[in-house]
A = this chain, B = another copy of it.
């Protein structure tokens, strides 16, 4: 594989940084992890496997993702909770024109604030394209492909 250790570590750190930003409630930091016209998409494995276009979230730039975050902060009504991400198996499986194709698995545990109940909220695979902009890794594309049809219809926080 043509990827060097330095690049691999930088990519891993990017993937982990996204998860930590969400878990720490720093949603405003997410847009900066994308390139300016970076895509962020959340869709079910069922739809993706069949080439169906429906997605739960689909933003095509930093600005669009920021809009989603603002709406989450000011408009959405939901019960207080937090996420805990487990991300494993970060692999760079290809490279083309300086963009690394990256895979990893995730499980998101959701913890409700009022009673502390913990449950597996979502599991799935990240399918990312990562570029290094002046040494800083960023997502050109981040596709979240979740496993279960049973995901809550309102996805409050990004996965």
Chain A interface (Cβ within 8 Å of chain B)?
5-6, 8-9, 13, 16-17, 19-20, 23, 45, 82, 84-91, 103, 105, 107, 109, 111, 115-120, 123-125, 147-151
Asked if A118 and B123 make an inter-chain contact with CB atoms under 8 angstroms apart, the answer reads: yes
* Contacting residues, chain B, for A116 (C-beta < 8 A): 147-151
Given contacts A13-B91, A125-B23, A148-B118, contact A84 B109 (CB under 8 A): no
Asked if A16 and B89 make an inter-chain contact with CB atoms under 8 angstroms apart, the answer reads: yes
Question: How many copies of this chain does one complex carry?
Answer: 3
Supply 7 further A-B pairs (C-beta < 8 A) apart from A116-B150, A118-B148. A5-B6, A16-B91, A20-B91, A20-B103, A20-B105, A85-B105, A118-B147
* Contacting residues, chain B, for A120 (C-beta < 8 A): 109, 118-120
* Contacting residues, chain B, for A85 (C-beta < 8 A): 88-89, 105
Bound complex: CA A6 to CA B9 (Å)? 12
Asked if A105 and B23 make an inter-chain contact with CB atoms under 8 angstroms apart, the answer reads: yes
Given contacts A5-B5, A120-B119, A149-B115, contact A105 B86 (CB under 8 A): yes
Nearest B residue (CB) for A115:
B150
* Contacting residues, chain B, for A82 (C-beta < 8 A): 45, 147
